Amino acid sequence: METDDGVCYAPDGKPQITFGFGPQSYGRLILVLLACTPLALIIFVPRIYFFVGRSLGAHLQRKTAARRAALLKQTEDDEMAYLKPEARRNSDDWEDVDAYTTGTAKNGEKADPEWDGVVGFLHPFCNAGGGGERVLWAAIRATQKRWPNAKCIVYTGDNEVDKASMLARVKNRFNIELHPPTVTFLYLTTRSWVLASSWPYFTLLGQSLGSLVMAWDAFSLLAPDIFVDTMGYAFALAFSKTLFSTVPTGAYIHYPTISTDMLSSLDPNSANGDQGVNAGKGTGLKGAVKTVYWNIFATFYSWVGASIDIVMTNSTWTLLHIRTLWDEWRKELQKSTPIVVYPPVAVEEMEREVEVSEASEKKRQSILLYIAQFRPEKNHKLILTAFAEFMATKSAATKGAKLVLIGSVRDDADSKRVYELRLLANELKIKDSVEFHLDASWPEILQWLRRASVGVNGMWNEHFGIGVVEYQAAGLISVVHDSGGPKRDIVIPIDGESTGFLANTATEFAEGFEMALSLDDKLAMRLRARQSAKRFTEEQFAKRWISQMERLVILRQKWSKSSLPMA
């Protein structure tokens, strides 16, 4: 007979050994199992997740092995046809690269200069022609020079542009000449997944999830030895860590996907409540939902950012935001501290091509030059409005003044935006004083930099501002937004004296235009600006880029050895 205590007794009253459970025993078992469930989830779910991920990664490596072999053979053939490796290695240009090597490994390890692995660069819009693309091409050139035997793969969605055309555009637009045999373009079919237009709702989350699809597409084409993202797809880098245990990841971040400034801009009463495309949108029920959603997304962004092995940012502003979001988690995982690697700017070329002297001053005209892609965040409308306000003053500085807008057009949306800007110029009655130059070549840009007097940038929180450095290097007087990289890194005093003007509103920009064009000694400020620009040369970028790439190569060498089977 079983009593309430769950123990069976014989008829004589003695306890009897059984293998069953009473009601209370079942209850205790259920409670124990429930109590252990969170611990089991913590222990086993990550293991299952990474087991599945590693299995998929191994599948991708096997799947792309044939393409990898074909790539290596094609590179070898192209190298022989293009130029003998001995001649390339012994040329003066390649010997100069030794000066870039810094050996940053704490334990004394050095990257093998003969390393011949595959570096995959994720940059689906590599034909866009902006500052981010200059970083990509300069990074590839520096990598080619440091590791002549390495293969650089660019995962791109510019399917309509072949390799020859792409490299010719790089030369024409940026004056960067790459070594063709060791550059390969692999064409993605899933770029639309990361377009903002594909995600009218929950855009940040949608684009981040879309980057996972795009990363799978890239890895299905070829699994690299080192994976580098130069556009800001942190989720794609985290996905790579899930799939491949021996593939180090590197990020060059132009701007955080989400930042504390973005979060604060939702509140109309905050300091940033009137800035950015989402300014003041945190009110009401819809705004409350958006605020919660953004904060949750920021948490996920912090998690994925913590997994990246090497993190570089383009400016102090970007670094501060990335560290605010990522530092705590990165310390937990013992990852390296993110550092600033200023983007490469053609400073030396500007100094050769654009004269800044008393003689050249006589050739300068009252031209305000704005070089920027025709994207909404560049805020061309603000500059047009400010220019109209400036011209309306009819001061002496407005005589013969002209606003010239130069930028690349990526797609139909950009073309429509240019059309709307032309209409706005007409409505503001400044049509005859405004010029648009689309997809201008580098020689054309240089011509305008020689003629112009003032360089303009209207973007709030421009993450760095390569165009602003180009203005300075060319001797232009900057009138730029009082935020982001231009404020923190570029338009800063030299020897206690100004190198340009900062503004927030249309009225402040109009006042800046007036002051810049009315200076008694413009040449003195131009020379200070040019001196300031020397901090952002291509050589400085190459040195810092290679120091970080060396760390990735060292990690690859170490992890590859540790994964080899025992003899």
Better-scored residue on pLDDT, 5 or 188: 188
* For residues 310-329, average pLDDT: 93
463 and 321 in a common domain: no
The predicted structure's pLDDT at residue 94 = 39
- Could you give the number of structural domains in the chain? 4
Alpha-carbon distances, residue 280 vs 194, 200, 264 (angstroms): 25, 19, 9
- Examine the pLDDT at 32 and tell me if it is beyond 60: no
335 and 206 in a common domain: yes
Percentage of the chain modeled with pLDDT above 90: 63
Provide the CATH number for the domain around residue 510: 3.40.50.2000
118 and 37 in a common domain: no
Provide the CATH number for the domain around residue 316: 3.40.50
194 and 137 in a common domain: yes
Residue 367, both tokens? 């031209």
The predicted structure's pLDDT at residue 113 = 85
451 and 476 in a common domain: yes
With cut-offs at 50, 70 and 90, classify the pLDDT of residue 346.
confident
Paired residues of 436 in beta bridges: 405
- Examine the pLDDT at 93 and tell me if it is beyond 60: no
Residue 137, both tokens? 């091409």
- Examine the pLDDT at 87 and tell me if it is beyond 90: no
Per the prediction, the chain carries an average pLDDT of 86
Rounded Cα gap, residues 546 and 556, in angstroms: 15
Q: Other CB atoms closer than 10 Å to residue 113's CB: what's the count?
A: 14
pLDDT by residue (tens digit) across 55-81?
999 999 999 999 999 999 999 999 888
102-111, 190-199, 242-251: least confident range: 102-111
166 and 238 in a common domain: yes
529 and 384 in a common domain: yes
> Which DSSP state fits 2?
B
Residues sharing a CB contact under 8 Å with residue 135, sequence separation 6 or more, in sequence order: 230, 252, 254, 314, 343, 344, 541
Angle 284-305/203-221 helices, nearest 10 degrees?
30
The predicted structure's pLDDT at residue 12 = 59
397 and 266 in a common domain: no
- Examine the pLDDT at 497 and tell me if it is beyond 60: yes
Print the SS3 string covering 242-266. HHCCCCCEEEEECCCCCCHHHHHHC
The predicted structure's pLDDT at residue 495 = 85
374 and 319 in a common domain: no
- Examine the pLDDT at 102 and tell me if it is beyond 80: no
Specify the 3-state DSSP secondary structure of 519: coil
Residue 562, both tokens? 């540790």
Rounded Cα gap, residues 403 and 10, in angstroms: 104
* For residues 125-141, average pLDDT: 92
462 and 333 in a common domain: no
Alpha-carbon distances, residue 508 vs 232, 305, 333, 390, 475 (angstroms): 32, 37, 46, 10, 22
Residue 382 falls within a domain, yes or no? yes
With cut-offs at 50, 70 and 90, classify the pLDDT of residue 17.
very low
269 and 316 in a common domain: no
Q: Which residues of 271-303 are buried (b: 16+ CB within 10 A; e: fewer)?
A: ebbebbeebbbbeeeebeebbeebeebbebbbe
The predicted structure's pLDDT at residue 554 = 95
The predicted structure's pLDDT at residue 248 = 97
The predicted structure's pLDDT at residue 115 = 94
With cut-offs at 50, 70 and 90, classify the pLDDT of residue 107.
low
The predicted structure's pLDDT at residue 264 = 74
The predicted structure's pLDDT at residue 161 = 94
Alpha-carbon distances, residue 270 vs 61, 201, 275, 433 (angstroms): 49, 25, 10, 37
Q: Which of 29-43, 108-122, 152-166, 278-292 has the highest mean pLDDT?
A: 152-166
Residues sharing a CB contact under 8 Å with residue 471, sequence separation 6 or more, in sequence order: 369, 371, 449, 455, 477, 478, 529
For 338: left if phi > 0, alpha if psi spans -120 to 50, otherwise beta; the answer is beta
222-231, 411-420, 446-455: least confident range: 411-420
The predicted structure's pLDDT at residue 27 = 56
160 and 116 in a common domain: yes
Residue 567 falls within a domain, yes or no? no
Q: In what order do the strands lie in the sheet with 310-313?
A: 183-187, 151-156, 118-122, 226-229, 249-253, 310-313, 339-340
> Which DSSP state fits 306?
T
With cut-offs at 50, 70 and 90, classify the pLDDT of residue 23.
low
Contact indicator for 519, 525 with CB cutoff of 8 Å: yes
Which residue type occupies 516? A
The predicted structure's pLDDT at residue 329 = 87
Q: Range of 296's domain?
A: 261-305
Angle 506-518/380-392 helices, nearest 10 degrees?
60
Residue 492 falls within a domain, yes or no? yes
Residue 80 falls within a domain, yes or no? yes
The C-alpha angle with vertex 365 and arms to 362 and 368, in degrees rounded to 5, equals 140
Residue 427 falls within a domain, yes or no? yes
* For residues 103-114, average pLDDT: 65
* Sign of the dihedral through C-alpha 481, 485, 486, 492: positive
Place of tokens 């490469």: 344
The predicted structure's pLDDT at residue 25 = 60
Specify the 3-state DSSP secondary structure of 373: coil
Contact indicator for 229, 206 with CB cutoff of 8 Å: no
Rounded Cα gap, residues 294 and 355, in angstroms: 48
Better-scored residue on pLDDT, 277 or 256: 256
With cut-offs at 50, 70 and 90, classify the pLDDT of residue 143.
very high
pLDDT by residue (tens digit) across 371-418?
998 988 899 999 999 999 999 999 999 999 999 999 988 788 889 999
pLDDT by residue (tens digit) across 149-201?
999 999 999 999 999 999 999 998 888 999 999 999 999 999 999 998 899 88
